[in-house]
Amino acid sequence: MNCSMQIKAKGDKKTINCEEKAIFSNPNYCAKHFSKYVEQKTADTIKKFKLISPSDKICVAVSGGKDSVSLLYILKKQGFNVEALAIDEGIAGYRNITLDFLKNFCEKHKIKLTIKNYEDDFGKRLDEVVKKGEPACNLCGTFRRHMLNKYAAEYDKIATGHNLDDEAQAVLMNLFKAQTRMLGRQGPKTSKKDFVRKIKPFYFLKEKEIMAYAFLNDINVPFIECPFASVSFRGHIRDWLNALEAKTPGTKENIIRHYLSLTKKIKMDDASTLDECPLCGFPSSNGLCHACRLKMKL
Amino acid sequence: MEVYLEKTDEHKTISFKGTAKELLEKLGINPEEALVVRAHELLSLDDNVYDTDKIRILSVISGG
Ligand code: SF4
Ligand SMILES: [Zn+2]
Ligand SMILES: [Zn+2]
């Protein structure tokens, strides 16, 4: 199949079809137009949801995966004032490899990279704590969010690589677990009351589209999985959603569009009920924040 | 056809002729979760693949 992009012929007002071979299905675009499509969709999301103002200094939270690295690449390419922040949990055989990649990538593209590690903030590496029997992902996620808020405080926004798949999964997970309070963390940007506002310029792009973009633009992130990744509830939702999407294309997008139209109609009370954690001063709904509690337990 | 599956780090030799989509079906892989690559070129799902091809199946999803 050929690329379905309509282009203007030189010196002509009429449009003609691009004659290159498509390298992607749905949307059917050639390599050049596929990259343009991804970049344009990112720019459109930023514009439509007013994610970035011209004076903003943006911190891109990078994990070394294709989503966050592609986001960093595109925001830099589009001329935004971006820096990268990575959190080193201390996971031997995994995080050191993704961090090496990130260091090279940021050096090559002249982007300032800051790396902060768990050990300095919480006294221990994640793999040490896990050895003692603590469940990895709960600790890992809580500390990571805590450190992001802490070290991104000097920036105007934190940009994350969350994509359409992540967001559709999150909407369903909240629904199935009846976690209404979490709704405020979703959407292309978090509420004004958030510590540092989080923005998701890839909100309308599928994971597969970002993967293809990374491939086409030589963003060769190492394929490596965290040794602590386990079959999770999210994993089940993801597999199920992918099966649905393959049968009924558009399912994922319908979920987030439905979510967006719902949130327009209901008043969100997400962060409005939050107090401050007496130890660290971060938002907390119930005395000590989750990160400080876990830290005391360790 | 030689197929390399990135997710499981497996090499397979199979006899196959058809579209990239049909190849994924045969391998039991959801097309939402993979990219099909031949000689550093991305293939669309309706591209034909041939018995003499060397194919890499890249995994879209990864843990962590
Ligand atoms: S899989 Fe769990 S432990 Fe590993 S990086 Fe992700 S959240 Fe952390
Ligand atoms: Zn084209
Ligand atoms: Zn606290």
A147 φ/ψ angles, rounded to the nearest 5 degrees: -70, -35
A109-154 residue pLDDT tens: 999 999 999 999 888 899 998 888 778 888 898 999 999 999 999 9
Is pLDDT at B22 greater than 60 in this prediction? yes
The pair of three-digit structure tokens given for residue A206, joined into one six-digit string: 């599928």
* A27 prior amide bond cis, ω within 30: yes
| Domain range enclosing B25 | 2-59
**Residue A130 Cα: closest atom of ligand 1:** 3
Residues with CB under 5 A from ligand 2 (ion): A 3, 5, 18, 20, 30, 33
Domain CATH number, residue B13: 3.10.20.30
A37: left (phi over 0), alpha (psi -120 to 50) or beta: alpha
A215-273 residue pLDDT tens: 999 999 998 888 888 777 888 999 999 999 999 999 999 999 999 988 877 765 554 56
Task: Specify if B35 maps to a domain.
Answer: yes
The 10 Å Cβ neighbour count of residue A47 is 10
Q: What confidence score (pLDDT) does residue A25 get?
A: 95
**Assigned CATH class of A49-297:** alpha beta
Q: Do A23 and B61 touch (CB under 8 A)?
A: no
Cα–Cα distances in Å, from A137 out to A60, A144, A206, A238, B49?
A: 21, 10, 24, 17, 40
Global pTM value: 0.93
Name the residue with higher pLDDT: A234 or B64.
A234
Checking ipTM against 0.90, whether it exceeds it is: yes
Report the candidate in A100, A142, A94, A96 with the shortest Cα–Cα distance to residue A121: A142
Question: How many CB pairs (< 8 A) connect A and B?
Answer: 61
Average pLDDT across chain A, whole number: 90
Task: Specify if B64 maps to a domain.
Answer: no
CB < 8 Å to B42, chain A: 23-24, 31, 212, 215-216
Report the candidate in A63, A60, A86 with the shortest Cα–Cα distance to residue A73: A60
pLDDT over 90 for what percent of chain B? 89
A59-70 residue pLDDT tens: 999 998 999 999
Q: Ligand 1 pocket: which residues have CB below 6 Å? A: A 136-137, 140-141, 226, 228-229; B 63-64
Distance CA A242, CA A239 (A): 5
Q: What confidence score (pLDDT) does residue A188 get?
A: 93
Q: What confidence score (pLDDT) does residue A181 get?
A: 66
Distance CA A273, CA B64 (A): 30
Q: Do B43 and A23 touch (CB under 8 A)?
A: yes
Task: Specify if B29 maps to a domain.
Answer: yes
Report the candidate in A48, A112, A103, A55 with the shortest Cα–Cα distance to residue A80: A55
Q: What confidence score (pLDDT) does residue A239 get?
A: 92
Q: What confidence score (pLDDT) does residue A271 get?
A: 46
Are A160 and A190 spatial neighbours (Cβ–Cβ below 8 Å)?
A: no
Is pLDDT at A276 greater than 90 in this prediction? no
pLDDT over 70 for what percent of chain A? 96
Any residues with CB less than 8 A from the CB of A269 and at least 6 apart, and which? A184
How do strand B54-59 and strand B2-5 relate by DSSP bridges? parallel
Mean pLDDT of A191-198: 80
Q: Residue A291: exposed, middle, or buried by beta-carbon count in 10 A (0-12, 13-18, 19+)?
A: buried
Every domain of chain A and the residues it spans: 1-41, 49-297
From first CA to last CA, the distance across chain A in angstroms is 57
Q: What confidence score (pLDDT) does residue A232 get?
A: 79
Task: Specify if B30 maps to a domain.
Answer: yes
Based on the structure, what is the number of domains in chain B?
1
Q: Do A1 and B33 touch (CB under 8 A)?
A: no
pLDDT over 90 for what percent of chain A? 63
Is pLDDT at B64 greater than 70 in this prediction? no
The pair of three-digit structure tokens given for residue A8, joined into one six-digit string: 């203007």
